[in-house]
Amino acid sequence: KNEVEQSPQNLTAQEGEFITINCSYSVGISALHWLQQHPGGGIVSLFMLSSGKKKHGRLIATINIQEKHSSLHITASHPRDSAVYICAVTKDFKETSGSRLTFGEGTQLTVNP
Amino acid sequence: DAGVIQSPRHEVTEMGQEVTLRCKPISGHDYLFWYRQTMMRGLELLIYFNNNVPIDDSGMPEDRFSAKMPNASFSTLKIQPSEPRDSAVYFCASSPPHGKGGNTIYFGEGSWLTVV
């Protein structure tokens, strides 16, 4: 069983729809990251969070530490949101460990016009 | 800031040849990571450095792989000899010191390697 699991693996939506991608993890973490990878391959960090909720534009990320669960929401989705969304966690607690990430398998999102 | 810079962006090489991938981290970042992405295994950490010192290389697949960081602004990942199963996208990433900008990680554009 993977330490970080995402659902769904694939998601197709119509433009304007509200989208939710889920991430569950089974290890203790110091932070959880949501990453976006576009078809060209580049990876961008969307959020890093260790508690509560963060919002950036149409994107919202939440985390429940007790339940070991995080969600990424996209409001008013747009075709340009089509990408792979990857959940990753920082497992290490030592100060010198930096951001050693453990990744989920990713969710392929396609938003149709 | 120019971000994390990787080269080459694409490389096609023959089996048995040496491959060297290069990375320039963001200035001021003291953590540098090398990741590999394949369809079968997704993203995997190969090795990471802190202040130019290798901290964890347990993800390096075998002796054919080696990584160096001679100074704070440059790192290399070398594969010698290369094999077709090494074909993948190799990402370099960097992050600031712990507590300064948190653990936010910044990825390069990746080096797409094909070994034929």
Which residues 39-58 of B are in CB contact (within 8 Å) with A? 42-45, 48, 50, 55-56
Q: What is the pLDDT of residues A15-70, one digit of tens each?
A: 999 999 999 999 888 889 999 998 877 899 999 988 899 999 999 999 999 999 99
Distance from CA of A46 to the nearest CA of B (A): 9
Q: What is the pLDDT of residues B54-112, one digit of tens each?
A: 988 888 988 999 999 999 999 999 999 999 999 999 999 998 876 655 568 899 999 99
Mean pLDDT of A8-16: 97
Mean pLDDT of A66-84: 96
pLDDT for A92: 61
Q: A95 burial class (0-12, 13-18, 19+ CB within 10 angstroms)?
A: exposed
pLDDT for B100: 54
**B70 in A contact zone (CB under 8 Å):** no
Q: Do B50 and A33 touch (CB under 8 A)?
A: no
pLDDT for B103: 67
pLDDT for A94: 56
Q: Which residues contact A63 (CB under 8 A, 6 or more apart)?
A: A32, A49, A50, A51, A52, A53, A69, A70
Mean pLDDT of B14-37: 95
**Residue A95 — pLDDT band, cuts 50, 70, 90?**
very low
Distances in Å between the Cα of B81 and the Cα atoms of A17, B11, B100 are: 49, 15, 39
Q: Do B105 and A95 touch (CB under 8 A)?
A: no
Three-class SS of chain B: CCCCEEECCEEEECCCCCEEEEEECCCCCCEEEEEEEECCCEEEEEEEEECCEEEECCCCCCCCEEEEEEECCEEEEEECCCCHHHCEEEEEEEECCCCCCCCCCEECCCEEEEEC
- Indicate whether A99 pLDDT > 70: no
